[in-house]
Amino acid sequence: MKITGDGHDIVKYMNEAALRQTKEATEKTPTPNDSPAEAQQDAVVNLSERSKDVRRAEEVIRSEPDVRSEKVQAIKDKIEKGTYEIDFDKTAEKMVKAFFDKLV
């Protein structure tokens, strides 16, 4: 799996989804017999499996390093030795794809 960007979009989505599910789970139509103290004591939040999965995914993302240091070091070594080769076609394709992705 390839994750691009800084992860803020994923975290934002997970937070919004968790808030939405929490709101749905805790919304309760008050009855005349309910007092505020009783409502607070009886409040229970049940998180769905999807919400739990989102939380687990967030934890995994946070635990992974932002930089793959082994790969970076390998590239630095190749550059120093003069053996690093650039695939210009592949680079151009990625640049064009990134440009068109921003247009959509």
**pTM (predicted TM-score):** 0.33
Return the domain boundaries, the chain. Answer: 1-66, 69-104
21-33 residue pLDDT tens? 767 766 655 555 5
Instruction: Write the CB contacts of 47 (distance below 8 Å, at least 6 apart in sequence).
Output: 18, 21, 22, 25, 55
DSSP tally for the chain: helices H, then strands E: 5, 0
* R_g of the chain computed on alpha carbons: 24
48-92 residue pLDDT tens? 888 888 888 888 888 887 778 889 999 999 999 999 999 999 999
